[in-house]
């Protein structure tokens, strides 16, 4: 039996005083308010145990991690038709790179880079009656937590400065790969990224991806085949141009966000969330990646 609490405590102790902590994202002005010393980990096992350490209960902006939750909802509406509008190949490029979109005639490489996530947001805007409210309710439902909310200051902050995402949405529109108005789709997208959660809430939200589509409340949201595909996309595309490095170092499907969160999971076994706001040059949490590498090395648990 692995003493998970002891493993988390060791990792936290090893890394909490580390001087090299990466840089907080400043391109969304509201994210500058975070402290670079924050560091939390939460582990949820499928057998019903949980372990945590550090700042696991402080809320942070989940940013791109929300792209997986949006994809999981969009799949329930369109299933395989999604893949006519978004591909499933790693991009090998930063999350906000636009040039590939032109080369590939308006079909984004995958749903976890910004262009792909904007197409997914468009699908949700088409299918949801009250998109922002309904999506929030979905996230609350799968997490079993009604207190989860959007941080409206973060959404507004990104709305003011999101020129790259406006360019992306306009480009998609010019290729007829956006059915709704650019402003409406981006308003939804910026809110989705501005979901605020702590490590525990995020770990609970991702439980269904480790549990063949059944959330913590035992409701079946996705088929195991849909979950297989979403996990495959997380493994190959969840860390942008560092997806290879994450698979190499950590060996789990996962997703990062520029708020400094990372969620990773081992199907049928556990979900783990780390949060440390400092990012490496590829936009992934520096300490979070190190913590997860230590976790899978110490516990010998990975998909490989």
From residue 99 to residue 118, the character string flagging contacts with ligand GLN as x (rule: CB under 6 A) and all else as - is ---------------x----
Active site residue 132: no
CB of 255 to ligand GLN, least distance (A): 9
Question: HEC profile for the chain?
Answer: CCCHHHHHHHHHHHHHCCCCCCECCCCCHHHHHCCCCCCEEEEEECCCCEEEEECCCCCEECHHHHHHHHHHHHHHHHHHHHHHHCCCCCCCCCCCCCHHHHHCCCCCCCCCCHHHHHHHHHHHHHHCCCHHHHHHHHHHHHHCCCCCEECHHHHHHHHHHCHHHHHHHHHHHHCCCCCCCHHHHHHHHHHHHCEEECHHHHHHHCHHHHCCCECCCCCECCCHHHHHHHHHHHHHHCCHHHHHHHHHHCCCCEEECCCCEEEEEECCCEEEEEECCCECCCCCEHHHHHHHHHHHHHHCCCCC
Task: Say which of 258, 263, 271, 273 is annotated catalytic.
Answer: 258
With binding defined as CB under 6 A, does residue 257 bind ligand GLN? yes
27 flagged as catalytic:
no
Q: Minimum Å distance from CB 64 to ligand GLN?
A: 3
Residue from the set 258, 272, 287, 291 that interacts with ligand GLN by CB under 6 A: 258
Q: Pick out residues in 5-34 that bind ligand GLN (CB under 6 A).
A: none
Rule CB under 6 A: choose which of 283, 287, 289, 295 binds ligand GLN. Answer: 283
Known catalytic residue at 258? yes
To the query of whether residue 240 is one of the catalytic residues in this protein, the response is yes
Closer CB to ligand GLN, residue 33 or residue 84? Answer: 33
165 binds ligand GLN (CB under 6 A): yes
| Active-site position among 42, 138, 207, 240 | 240
> Taking CB under 6 A as the criterion, which residues in 139-158 touch ligand GLN?
158
In the complex, which residues of this chain contact ligand GLN (CB under 6 A)?
Answer: 63-64, 95-96, 114, 158, 165, 193, 257-258, 283
- Residues carrying an active site annotation: 64, 67, 189, 240, 258
């Amino acid at each position: 039996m692995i003493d998970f609490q002891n493993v988390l405590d060791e990792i936290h102790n090893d890394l909490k005083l580390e001087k090299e902590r990466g840089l907080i994202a400043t391109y969304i002005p509201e994210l500058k308010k975070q402290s670079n010393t924050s560091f939390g980990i939460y582990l949820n096992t499928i057998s019903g145990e949980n372990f945590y350490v550090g700042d696991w209960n402080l809320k942070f902006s989940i940013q791109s991690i929300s792209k997986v939750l949006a994809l999981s909802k969009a799949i329930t509406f369109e299933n395989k038709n999604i893949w006519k509008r978004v591909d499933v190949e790693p991009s090998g490029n930063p999350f906000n790179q636009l040039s590939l979109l032109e080369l590939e005639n308006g079909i984004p490489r995958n749903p976890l880079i910004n262009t792909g996530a904007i197409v997914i947001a468009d699908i949700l805007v088409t299918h949801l009656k009250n998109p922002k409210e309904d999506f929030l309710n979905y996230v609350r439902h799968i997490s079993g937590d009604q207190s989860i909310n959007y941080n409206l200051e973060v959404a507004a902050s990104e709305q003011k400065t999101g020129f790259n995402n406006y360019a992306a949405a306009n480009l998609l529109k010019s290729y007829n790969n956006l059915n709704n108005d650019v402003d409406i789709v981006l308003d939804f997208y910026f809110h989705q990224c501005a979901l605020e959660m702590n490590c525990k809430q995020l770990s609970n939200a991702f439980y269904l991806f480790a549990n063949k589509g059944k959330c913590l409340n035992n409701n079946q949201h996705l088929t195991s085949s849909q979950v297989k595909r979403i996990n495959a996309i997380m493994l190959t595309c969840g860390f942008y141009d560092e997806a290879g490095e994450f698979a190499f170092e950590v060996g789990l499907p996962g997703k990062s966000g520029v708020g400094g969160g990372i969620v990773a999971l081992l199907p049928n076994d556990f979900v783990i969330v780390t949060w440390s706001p400092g990012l490496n040059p590829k936009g992934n949490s520096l300490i979070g990646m190190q913590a997860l590498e230590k976790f899978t090395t110490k516990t010998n648990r990975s998909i490989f």
